[in-house]
Structure formats: C-alpha cells, structure tokens
Copies of this chain bind each other. A is one copy, B any other.
Amino acid sequence: MTQIRKVEVTEVGPRDGFQNEKNPISTEVKVALINRLIDAGIPRIEATSFVSPKAVPQMADAAEVIKGIDRSKGTIISALVPNARGAIRAAESGVDEMVLFVSASESHNKKNVNRTTEESLQGFEEVARIAQDAKIQLHGAIATAFGCPFEGDVPVERLAMISKRFQEMGFVGMTFGDTTGMATPKNVRAGVRAVRAAAPKLAMNLHFHNTRGVGLACVMAGLDEGVDKYESSFGGIGGCPFAPKATGNICTEDLVYLLQEMDIETGVDLAKLTAIACDVETVIGRPLPGQIMKAGHRLELHDMNAVRTAEG
C-alpha cells in the first residue's frame, strides 16, 4: 500500500454543483460560501466558469465572484474556461488557474461542445497563449475519463494521448473527470498508470461522482496508486443528467472525514466544512446526499438515556 500522508482537496461545488441549479444563486451568497471554504482551509477551489452567460446563466457573474474572493490565504482559485473569449475574461478577473475541459470520448465531446477532441485540443493552444501571457497556470480536465454514457469503456490510450498533449502545452496539472459515475477501482488504477507513464510532469487530480455509490471506494484505489489530489463538492451537490435521482460528485465533508480518519492530513476544518454544507442545503432548498452533514462525526457521542437502540 502506498502511504499517502497529505492530500489536496479541491472544492468544485461553486462550479460543478451550482452550474446545474436552475434557481439563481446571488453573487453575494456564492462569494460568502467560497470565503468560508477558504477559512475552513480548502487549498484549491473551482470557483466558477467563464462560459457564455447565455448558455449557463448561473455562471454569468463569474468575474464578480472572483472579485469578491479572499485571496489573502493563498488558496488556488481556478475557473473553467471553454474558449479564448472565456480565457480573456478569466485573465482579466485575476484567477490563479484556468481549467480546460475535453472529453475522452468523441461522442461525449461532440455532444458537449460540438467539436472533435482534436478540435478541442487545438483550440486549447489559443487559450494557453492567453493564459501564459497573463502568467496564469493551466490545468486540463478529461471528462468521461472512466467511461462514456454513449460509448461505454474508454481506452486508457485516449487518456494517455490527451494528457500528453496537456503536458506539451505546458499545463501544470490534469484531472480525471468521472463525469457520469463510471469509475471503478480497476479502471482508476489503469487510468492513473497510463497517464503517469504518458505525462509524468502533470500533477494528477481525481474527480469522482458517487452516481453508483462507489466514489469513495475509488478514492481508496487512487490513494493506493499514490494519487494525492481529489475533487469533491460540498454536501455532494451536483447530479447526473442520465440518472435524475442519482447523486453527483463525491461529498467534500465525507471525503475529508475519510482522509482524516486514515491519518491523512488535509488542512481542512471538518466542523466548519460541515456547517457550510448545511447552509448550501438551505440555499439549494432540497436535501443533499452528504452523510457527515446528517450523522455528524463518529466521535460526537450520544446520551445513553436519550435514544432507543435496536440490535444490529
């Protein structure tokens, strides 16, 4: 077993979670939640997306959100950037990092951005020039990295090819995006090994969805492979367009709890994080799938005389 002692947790809720919310969330609320995440010790936050406001109205305030964020603690503030226009806006806003997405599967990339993956990768070069001129670091994300809802299994050669291109374009890191919850311990191991061989300079992030209940089991496999960066969302907010009742991203509090209980340092205050998740639930107005926010920490003890128990 690889002995990971420290993990970087990236909170993606403000982007990957909020992006799919139909009811508008105010800029003030977003900024306040992000600043509380920073105060709780989260070291990297995917704060927003510089997509077209027409395509995703919820992200129209991207620049204002970035402007409101407390930068005093050195938290890495990243934002999703789909094209050169978004990159210019992101650079002006002063983000620390631009995240560029491409799908491992052709059909998902076509569906998502109406381009071939090669066209997406070529488009990244223009974005990369804008970022590099502004001295902003670049991070690549591979959607459908562990399976495509249209094609099924994704060959690891695709992950290797794309991550190699990321490295050649000077990206500092990459994320395996488990877009629709198709990751398993087995394909996580295979993907990590393939990318490590193809692009050894890239920092690796694993971004799992708990759509099929095995998100944290995949984290265990990732830790065993020596991966020390994971992405998750507060309360487990986010969903899956293919399974309306299923859950989305793995939950940040549950992930941090798991890591802490394995003596892995995260630098995160779990109690503060849990309070934030409860407030996100109030903002969203429906129950979130996070468990620690419902059950509390395992060592929050109970009064023997206050509860009826049952065998089992």
Contacts and interface: CB of A to CB of B under 8 A. Distances in A.
B220 A298 contact: no
Interface residues of A, number: 77
A186 B257 CA distance: 12
Given A212-B254, A307-B242, A311-B101, A298 B147 contact: yes
Contacts of A113: 311
A182 interface: yes
Contacts of A296: 243
A17 B80 CA distance: 43
A295 B152 contact: no
Nearest to A255: B213
B212 A312 contact: no
Contacts of A242: 295, 302, 307
Nearest to A184: B261
A174 interface: no
B213 A150 contact: no
B179 A292 contact: no
A26 interface: no
Given A112-B311, A220-B220, A224-B1, A182 B298 contact: yes
Contacts of A76: none
A301 B1 contact: no
B216 A213 contact: yes
A227 interface: no
A211 interface: yes
B152 A301 contact: yes
Interface of A: 1, 12, 15-16, 19-20, 49, 51, 80, 82, 101, 107-108, 110-113, 143, 147, 149-153, 177, 179, 181-182, 184-186, 210-214, 216-217, 219-221, 224, 238, 240-243, 245-247, 251, 254, 257-258, 261-263, 287, 290-292, 294-299, 301-304, 307-312
